[in-house]
């Protein structure tokens, strides 16, 4: 019985805190936005996939900001294993159920007849590299910030106390910037997954 109660979200049987209310409002906003991005033909459950993806990436990005905790999103193995299956599923769904629309997207509107074969090749290549660019974007952004923080931290022991205060202020500013990047990148990953 106790395990069953634990499976019900605590918001239903405990007074929700400000954190719970804030998180719920963020998720509701994301749900509305993904619904508009997917359009009226989008399936009912697909917004929850992208909200879960956003939450997972956000959690992993923030965990990486703590000292001595490895940032899993700074590895292509995780980001590619998130981007590739999702892209593949939506591509297969599109090609199986909406074949005419998928072929129509390969040639942009108003393309001259001579350029059509080249445009099909270019659009196909750009479509195939989408999950790779999505994964590399998240990985590169996570690595860049952490690398900067590490390099600044390694120069600390050789500095004077006067310069150490400036270093500390710079590191705090970078940490704030990294938290913003962590939020923005998880949002960008989820939104671009819907658009691709």
Which tens digit of pLDDT belongs to each residue from 113-162?
A: 887 888 888 888 888 888 899 899 989 988 888 888 888 888 877 878 88
Spatial distance between the Cα atoms of 134 and 17, rounded to a whole number of angstroms = 35
What average pLDDT does range 85-98 have in this prediction? 85
Contact 31, 51 (CB under 8 A): yes
Q: Which residues contact 160 (CB under 8 A, 6 or more apart)?
A: none
**Better-scored residue on pLDDT, 41 or 121:** 121
Highest mean pLDDT of the ranges 2-11, 46-55, 135-144: 135-144
**Better-scored residue on pLDDT, 169 or 156:** 169
Least-confidence region, from 54-68, 93-107, 180-194: 93-107
What average pLDDT does range 85-92 have in this prediction? 87
pLDDT, mean over the chain: 82
Contact 34, 194 (CB under 8 A): yes
Selection from 9, 55, 13, 12 nearest residue 31 by Cα: 55
**Better-scored residue on pLDDT, 65 or 11:** 65
| pTM, to two decimals | 0.79
Contact 44, 173 (CB under 8 A): no
- Three state DSSP letters for the chain: CHHHHHHCCHHHCCCCCHHHHHHHHHHHHHHHHHHHHHCCCCCCCHHHHHHHHHHHHHHHHHHCCCCCCCCHHHCHHHHHHHHHHHHHHHHHHHHHHCHHHHHHHHCCCCCCCCCHHHHHHHHHHHHHCHHHHHHHHHHHHHHHHHHHHHHHHHCHHHCCHHHHHHHHHHHHHHHHHHHHHHHHHHHHHHHHHHHC
Q: Which residues contact 47 (CB under 8 A, 6 or more apart)?
A: 30, 31, 34, 35, 38
Q: Which residues contact 59 (CB under 8 A, 6 or more apart)?
A: none
Where are the chain's structural domains? 40-195
pLDDT at residue 5 in the model: 59
What average pLDDT does range 107-115 have in this prediction? 78
Spatial distance between the Cα atoms of 44 and 173, rounded to a whole number of angstroms = 41
How would residue 1 be classed by pLDDT, with cut points 50, 70 and 90? very low
């Amino acid at each position: 019985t106790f395990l069953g109660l634990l499976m019900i979200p605590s918001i239903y049987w405990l007074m929700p805190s400000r954190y719970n209310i804030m998180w719920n409002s963020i998720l509701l906003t994301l749900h509305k936005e993904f619904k508009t991005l997917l359009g009226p033909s989008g399936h009912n459950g697909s917004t929850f996939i992208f909200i879960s993806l956003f939450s997972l990436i956000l959690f992993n990005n923030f965990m990486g900001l703590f000292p001595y905790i490895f940032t899993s999103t700074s590895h292509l193995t995780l980001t590619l294993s998130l981007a590739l299956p999702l892209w593949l599923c939506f591509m297969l769904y599109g090609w199986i159920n909406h074949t005419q629309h998928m072929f129509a997207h390969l040639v942009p509107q108003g393309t001259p007849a001579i350029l059509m074969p080249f445009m099909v090749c270019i659009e196909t290549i750009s479509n195939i590299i989408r999950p790779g660019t999505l994964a590399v974007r998240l990985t590169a952004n996570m690595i860049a910030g952490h690398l900067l923080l590490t390099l600044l931290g390694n120069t600390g022991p050789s500095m004077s106390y006067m310069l150490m205060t400036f270093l500390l202020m710079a590191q705090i500013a970078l940490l704030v910037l990294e938290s913003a990047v962590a939020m923005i990148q998880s949002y960008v990953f989820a939104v671009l997954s819907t658009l691709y």
